[in-house]
Amino acid sequence: MLSTWPELPYERWRPTCDTLHAHTQVLGKLSARLAPPQPQLQHAALRVTTRGWETGALPAPDGSGALGIVLDLRSHCAVVEHSSGAAVRIPLTPHRSVGAVTRAVLAAVRELGGPVEFDPTPQEVSWTVPLDADEEHATYVPEQVADYFVAATRAAQVLAEFRAPYRGRGTPVNAWWGSFDLAVSLFSGAPAAPPSGDFIMRNAMDAQEVAVGWWPGDERYGRAAFYAYAHPAPDGFDTLTLEPAAARWESELGEYVLDWDDVRAAADPAAAALAFTRSAFRHSCRVCDWPYPLAASAEGNPPPVR
């Protein structure tokens, strides 16, 4: 049973973080290629489970059944599984490169499920070397991955609890491999203009939403944190006062954040994080003029189970 909210100093574990991030992109790209397309690119999203990052059940290219690919962060291996029971395990070890793991995963997918096209270009990161040729990212410290997995599990539990009572359309807790974050999006039902015309934005952000999530830190913001934003955001959105008191607006991100260290320092970390998610949604709905019944349902009014 998890009993801690571990430290997660981004600069200290950044090399391992980048390697792990790259591994998740392999899973995400296979999901995007094989899964039936869904609105807001939901078919490309992964999940954080009790094992690690996982795809859903993906149609095998040769029609033989379903494939699943897992980054098992407990036993530190990538696993390619077929619905027939066949499986291939690929160790994630210190100094084993992203390129080597990517090539092994693709070989296992093709062995178990038939030929599949794969775009090796990394997305939403600062490096450009194709994933199957990336020999630079090879740092993998199991202890750091274990701390990350504990933290990610805690964050996912908070986001799931926040999401649970909402009666409108919403996503499950998505694990996004481009930005390497966990997120829940709740939708009002109204359309919205995407912020730009690139592929991701025009497909992922074509509806009014409030998104709440968590990331372990990145190049833009070198601290683990919960975050929240609304799309589209009206004038004055950056002036909200959220709970707890440590929550604040980050203008460079265009998002509200609550640092992981502030959550850890709270008397009840889970309650502090949940307060942030709920207050962000409540105030976002107010200033974005969402229907009151939808906003109220996120806080259990009416109760989700009678």
**Per residue in 141-154, pLDDT tens?**
999 999 999 999 99
pLDDT of residue 1: 40
Report the percentage of the chain scoring pLDDT > 90: 94
**Per residue in 209-224, pLDDT tens?**
999 999 999 999 999 9
How far apart (Å, rounded) are the C-alpha atoms in residues 262 and 245? 10
pLDDT of residue 53: 98
Report the sign of the C-alpha dihedral through residues 249, 251, 255, 258, in that order: negative
**Per residue in 80-133, pLDDT tens?**
999 999 999 999 999 999 999 999 999 999 999 999 999 999 999 999 999 999
pLDDT of residue 3: 57
Closest by Cα among 98, 101, 123, 132 to 32: 123
Q: How far is CA 16 from CA 47, 189, 279, in A?
A: 20, 39, 33
Residues with Cβ within 8 Å of 297's Cβ and at least 6 positions away in sequence, in order, are 165, 166, 167, 168, 304
pLDDT of residue 166: 97
- Given a cut of 90, whether residue 199 has pLDDT beyond it is no
pLDDT of residue 93: 96
**Per residue in 56-65, pLDDT tens?**
999 999 999 9
Q: In the predicted model, what is the mean pLDDT of the chain?
A: 96
pLDDT of residue 2: 45
Read off the pLDDT band of 196 (50, 70, 90).
confident
Task: Scan for tokens 């189970």, then name that residue.
Answer: 305
